[in-house]
Amino acid sequence: MKKNMGTIDRVIRVLLAIVVGILYLTGNISGTAAIILGILAVIFILTSVVGFCPLYMPFNLTTIGKK
């Protein structure tokens, strides 16, 4: 797996996952919305840690700056 996510992309994903966690813990989201957003938050965390987003591959996208 070749990394295709830049630092800014990874930080934004982690921040969004944190926001979802805070919304859940404060009770602002619940039910189906909480489940769907929770799954997305976990995916965002995993892709940020690995540095690879499988959805970028078919479109040949990368957020890594030029080297």
* Of the candidates 38, 12, 7, 8, the residue with the CA atom closest to the CA atom of residue 25: 38
How many structural domains does the chain have? 1
Report yes or no on 29 lying in a domain: yes
Report yes or no on 61 lying in a domain: no
Sort 16 into a burial class: Cβ within 10 Å, 0-12 / 13-18 / 19+: middle
Q: What is the residue range of 48's domain?
A: 7-56
Report yes or no on 62 lying in a domain: no
Mean predicted lDDT score pLDDT of the chain: 94
Report yes or no on 49 lying in a domain: yes
pLDDT tens-digit readout, 35-62: 999 999 999 999 999 999 999 999 999 9
